[in-house]
Amino acid sequence: MQPRSTCYRVKDGQWGAVVDGHWTGMLREVKDGEADIGVGPLGITLKRTSIVDFLFGIIASEPTDQTPNKPPKPHTKDLTPPKQNPSFRIALRRPSNEDYMWSVYTKQFDVGVWVFVLFVIAGLVLCLYFVSCVFVAAGQVKVIPLSDCALTVIGIFCGQGSTLPSRSSAARTVVITALLLQVVTLSYYTSNMVSALTVGPRLPPYKDLGDIHAQSSITFGIINGSRNTDDFTDSKNPLHQSVWRRMKEDDLAITATQGMERVYEEKYALMLWGIYFQVNYAHDCRVFTLPKGYFPTYTSFAITKGSPLVPVLNKLVLDIISSGFLRKWWQELSNKGNDCNALETVPIELKTVLTPFLLLIFGIFVALVIKMKIQNLSD
């Protein structure tokens, strides 16, 4: 007699967690006898083992950022589950130039550098005006108005010349100093801007969950009904408790796929199983994961409590582990990711170059307004 089986997707689409005192998802159906076995990478926890039985751990995870284990030595058998990357990672969207529409042409310098440049420009303007006043007192040249001094220095920094007479050696020294500073500033600015437009912006300086929690502009979420629900609610870690208290119902992702769609489209950080990310998204350079991993665990299949299938299926699991198939699978999988740090040029989109055109239009508008006011005053 051939054994018969039926496989179906869980009704509520969840893995299984305690919500309002009741179990949900795959674990609830196994617990209530609606299913004999829950097939999926279910994390083995103390709370879950109180309602279902688990097979031997199929995949184990490291508590910190680790590289895949080296293959076992020849002629030896290792019956422990192969250890992979940490159970859960935080996925974020990799920033692009389009995210910096209003700052793509100003982020080449730090705020302190821009302030310093403004102070230097103001200092050169005052120096040029002071020099003209001193030489006027000596009866050599006419005084240069302060507004003309400002336009001259700003024009030099913008790569423009000047028609103002600089007959005195002191005035020429000030102009030459401004020209030299313009060359140095422009060299640093253009080199950084070209590399940023070509390679793209660097990754944000986030290292772990604490950095994400400190950013109010980023929404952090987990997969609804996953093991992470118990991880956060049962954790004694103050950071985990604070993260859970801030999390809202809308922050939870219905599925990993839906959560990753939010990562692509929003400022959203999703905690998901590291191996799932490696299989489905490691090749996509639009997203990345933070280096720190969380909630290490063993994963396996769940079976109805006291089921006679446990010893039978456990023997199959041991045969699979001892054959080295899982280690070979993980080593092959680890080599499929793309090198997202490799230099690659991409076309610049309109949104990236829109800012200078808007500033140019604004400058033309301001110039026209000033010209009209001057004409009205002259009339």
pLDDT tens, residue by residue, 301-343: 889 988 888 888 888 888 887 887 777 776 776 655 566 765 4
Residue with tokens 């629900």: 229
Q: What pLDDT, on the 0 to 100 scale, is given for residue 342?
A: 54
Q: Please, what is the average pLDDT of the chain? A: 80
CB proximity list for 141: less than 8 A, separation 6 or greater: 132, 135, 165, 167, 168, 171
Confidence band for 58, pLDDT divided at 50, 70 and 90: confident
Confidence band for 62, pLDDT divided at 50, 70 and 90: low
Is 126 part of a structural domain of the chain? yes
Number of domains in the chain: 2
Task: Look at residues 200, 228, 260 and tell me which one is the last residue of a structural domain.
Answer: 200
CB proximity list for 373: less than 8 A, separation 6 or greater: none
Is 176 part of a structural domain of the chain? yes
The rounded distance, in Å, linking the Cα atoms of 120 and 123 is 5
Q: Is the pLDDT of residue 219 over 90?
A: yes
Q: What are phi and psi of 221, to 5 degrees?
A: -145, 165
Q: What pLDDT, on the 0 to 100 scale, is given for residue 72?
A: 42
Q: What pLDDT, on the 0 to 100 scale, is given for residue 157?
A: 85
pTM: 0.64
Task: Look at residues 171, 200, 229 and tell me which one is the last residue of a structural domain.
Answer: 200
Give the three-class secondary structure for 18. strand
Is 130 part of a structural domain of the chain? yes
Is 38 part of a structural domain of the chain? no
Of 123, 283, 281, 107, whose CA–CA distance to 197 is shortest?
Answer: 107
Q: What pLDDT, on the 0 to 100 scale, is given for residue 358?
A: 78
Task: Look at residues 155, 173, 200 and tell me which one is the last residue of a structural domain.
Answer: 200
Q: What pLDDT, on the 0 to 100 scale, is given for residue 345?
A: 55
Both tokens assigned to 45: 């926890």
Is 329 part of a structural domain of the chain? no
- Percentage of the chain modeled with pLDDT above 90: 13
Angle between helices 325-334 and 309-322 (to 10 degrees): 60
Q: What are phi and psi of 301, to 5 degrees?
A: -95, 150
Q: Rounded mean pLDDT of 214-218? A: 90
Range of the domain at 174: 111-200
> How confident is the model over 27-37, as pLDDT tens digits?
889 888 888 88
Is 9 part of a structural domain of the chain? no
Q: Rounded mean pLDDT of 135-145? A: 64
Confidence band for 71, pLDDT divided at 50, 70 and 90: very low
Q: What pLDDT, on the 0 to 100 scale, is given for residue 264?
A: 92
The continuous run of DSSP H or E covering 272 comes out as strand 268-273
Q: Rounded mean pLDDT of 148-152? A: 86
Is 327 part of a structural domain of the chain? no
Is 177 part of a structural domain of the chain? yes
Confidence band for 224, pLDDT divided at 50, 70 and 90: confident
> How confident is the model over 75-124, as pLDDT tens digits?
444 444 445 555 789 999 988 766 666 677 777 888 888 899 899 999 99
> How confident is the model over 256-301, as pLDDT tens digits?
889 999 999 999 999 988 888 888 888 888 899 998 888 887 888 8
Q: Is the pLDDT of residue 233 over 90?
A: no
